[in-house]
Amino acid sequence: MPIEPGLWGAGDAYERYMGRWSREVAPHFVEWLGGSGGSPSGGAGIDVGCGTGILTAAVLEGANPERIVGIDSAPGFLELARARVSDPRATFTQGDALALPAPDDTFDLAVSGLVLNFLPDKAAALSEMARVVRPGGLVGLYVWDYAGHMQIMRHFFDVASALDPRARDFDDGVKAPVCRPSPLRELFEGAGLQGVEVRAIDIAAAFESFDDYWTPFLGGTGSAPKYCMSLDEPAREDLRERLRARLPTGPDGEILLAVRAWAAKGRLAGAR
């Protein structure tokens, strides 16, 4: 997927920063796909922008496909996905979300997790997912609620932007207006998908300590960590201490934050 170069190159850093929370959202998303007969039992699936294989693994467990192909442009992510998802029904291939390496009408299910907002042409990405799905097949994805209840990043960028207006250039809450219910619905309907539904998936992110929250921002993988590591040491320390003062911290040092993803699904017209 042709996203900003270097943004998501390090799979281990991604896991510490965001992968652990995506892993909690993914099963809820797959369960929701299956509501009212939504997610096929058996059949073939594709995970677009599969990253380290978190959503692929959730589909394997929750939807029981005959096979699933994970597509990603980042070799480091694919290496981790192959190491972590040993199920023989899964294969992982390097490819472009805007030009999926599959013929028309190949899959029964096309999914994507936490990828859409990083793609330069969202409509083209949805059209590609719809293209490779058979008539009657399902297309679904989820993205973080960057501007609202994705508090891990909302706290970070609210503090960072108050200190440095340049931080807004990195803030996905500003950069990714598609990560809201109405734009997602419009995008799905624009791709010709029917019965479009959008819903919130809410989880709680529990950090053992402030360092557990802060350290992933030093990994340089993702918009917030990339901004964090662009700062000189005094500016980064100022940001750190202001965040420490802002975050809700329990008596044992634990920090509990709300995390919300917006999920959308729709079906390709035709017989099931």
pLDDT of residue 38: 52
At 11 the pLDDT is 62
Q: Is the pLDDT of residue 249 over 60?
A: yes
pLDDT in tens, 6-51: 444 556 777 778 888 999 999 999 999 987 555 556 799 999 999 9
pLDDT of residue 8: 47
Q: Mean pLDDT, to the nearest integer, of 236-246?
A: 98
Q: Taking Cα atoms as reference points, which of 110, 97, 105, 102 lies closest to residue 63?
A: 110
The predicted pLDDT at position 17 comes to 83
The per-residue pLDDT for range 189-208, each reduced to its tens digit, is 999 999 999 999 999 999 99
Question: Looking at residue 271, what is its pLDDT?
Answer: 64
CB distance 7 to 226 below 8 Å: yes
pTM of the model: 0.91
User: Nearest-CA neighbor of 20 among 214, 216, 249, 248?
Assistant: 216
Could you give the domains of the chain? 11-267 (3.40.50.150)
Give the tens place of pLDDT for each residue, 148-193.
Answer: 999 999 999 999 999 999 999 999 999 999 999 999 999 999 999 9
Percentage of residues of the chain with pLDDT beyond 90: 86
pLDDT value at position 39? 53
Residue range 64-111, pLDDT digits in tens: 999 999 999 999 899 999 999 999 999 999 999 999 999 999 999 999
Euclidean distance between CA atoms 253 and 268, whole angstroms = 48
Instruction: Say yes or no to pLDDT of 5 above 50.
Output: no
Average pLDDT, the chain: 92
Tell me if 233 sits within 8 A of 34, measured CB to CB. Answer: no
Per-residue pLDDT averaged across 217-226, rounded? 90
Alpha helices in the chain (DSSP H): 11-14, 20-33, 54-62, 75-84, 122-131, 151-163, 172-175, 181-190, 210-214, 223-228, 233-246
